[in-house]
Structure 1
Amino acid sequence: MSAPTDLMLYTVAEVAEMLGPHVTVAWLTKRLRERKFPGRKVGRSWMLTRADIESAIELMARPAIAPKPDPAGLTAGSRRRLNRRVAAAS
């Protein structure tokens, strides 16, 4: 008899593998200890449910920030030079 998917528990190593190569066991364990990610201790080990994993993914997501349009159309270097000239003239 298999457990329902909601009740399945995953180890930190399994979750780190699911989340990708940039997530290490140490990094994930640190976030669990700091209570930044949901999870539970079973004995001496951290365990996560599917809902915990989905919540961690949402917490790791960062919204895309659109670049601010430059009304003058200048490059970053040109803007710096212009700002230096304006500051020197003051």
Structure 2
Amino acid sequence: MTRTYSVSEVAEQIGAPSERWLVEQLRAGHFPGRKVARTWRMTEQDVTDALDACLNNPRITRTAAVGLTATSRKRVSA
């Protein structure tokens, strides 16, 4: 049988600002979890997926040099 964790256990594990914040994320569907009776439960995989959802991976895009002067184009491409 798969072990599940309570909201308070998960909040402590992941360093959440509060249990309420974690419940709000679960309700909004941002984090996976299951509501059993009146309490939220999360599996080990749910906790891992929640942490993955919190990763900050900025997407770096190249700026288009169209319409720039030669000097500005050099600055953008450097």
Query: Shared topology, TM-score over 0.5?
Result: yes
Unaligned runs of 5+ in 1: 73-90
Match runs of 1:1-90 below 5 Å: 7-20=2-15, 22-64=16-58, 71=75
Point out 4+ residue stretches in structure 1 off by more than 4 angstroms: none
Bigger strand fraction: 2
Count of residues in Structure 1 that have an aligned counterpart in Structure 2: 63
Which amino acid is 2:48 matched to? E
- CA distance in 1 between partners of 2:58 and 2:29 (Å): 25
Q: Normalized against structure 1, the TM-score is what?
A: 0.62
Q: Name the % identity.
A: 35
Q: Normalized against structure 2, the TM-score is what?
A: 0.71
Task: Give the greater-gyration-radius structure (CA).
Answer: 1
Contact 1:38 1:56 in 2 (8 A): yes
